Amino acid sequence: DVLTVPASLAGLPAASVPCGLVVQEGRSLPVGMQLVGPALREERVLAAAAAVERLVGRFAPPVAAEVGA
């Protein structure tokens, strides 16, 4: 994804965490959050990602029938 490239090029640890769904034009679309941390501090990013998962719960993406495919 083009939005993850800057963190990678900068050498920063990053994680993408699924956060839920948003309804747009009658379709449920997945929403995620990208967390970026300081260089060489991967453990901070992983801890933050785990905390987000605990707060929002585990997210199961919709099946194709739910998104209108």
pLDDT along the chain (69 residues), means of 10: 86 91 85 93 97 83 57
Q: How many residues does the chain have?
A: 69
CB 5 within 8 A of CB 44: no
**Model confidence, pTM:** 0.73
pLDDT score of 59:
66
Query: What's the pLDDT at 3?
Result: 81
Predicted local confidence at residue 63, as pLDDT: 65
